[in-house]
Amino acid sequence: MPYKIATTVKQAAWECRWARAGRRLNVDPEQGHPENLWICVRPTAHGTRRVVSEGECDSCEHWRAPDDDVTQS
């Protein structure tokens, strides 16, 4: 009987070139309240900082490893 091995690849927020830890202790000057755990700094038409969850990073099409070439995005 052949064996089937299932594997999944998790795109973790802490391994993404665009993710940063949020300012949990300091107030975000733009929003006026502390930021969430993860912030995405990928440049977009709407700005460069937005709150993201680990689940969003897990399925993000723009996720990049820290050593990936960003010219592809």
Predicted confidence (pLDDT) per residue in 36-66, tens digit? 788 888 888 887 788 888 888 888 898 888 7
Q: If residue 58 lies in a helix (H) or strand (E), which one and from where to where?
A: helix 54-58
CA dihedral (54, 15, 72, 36) in degrees, to 10, reads: 40
**Dihedral sign from CA coordinates of 26, 32, 34, 36:** negative
Query: Could you report the per-residue pLDDT of 1-26, keeping only the tens digit for each?
Result: 677 776 666 788 888 888 888 776 66
Tell me how far apart the alpha carbons of residues 50 and 20 are, in angstroms, rounded to a whole number: 10
Query: Could you report the per-residue pLDDT of 23-42, keeping only the tens digit for each?
Result: 766 665 566 666 678 888 88
Quick one: DSSP state of residue 44? B
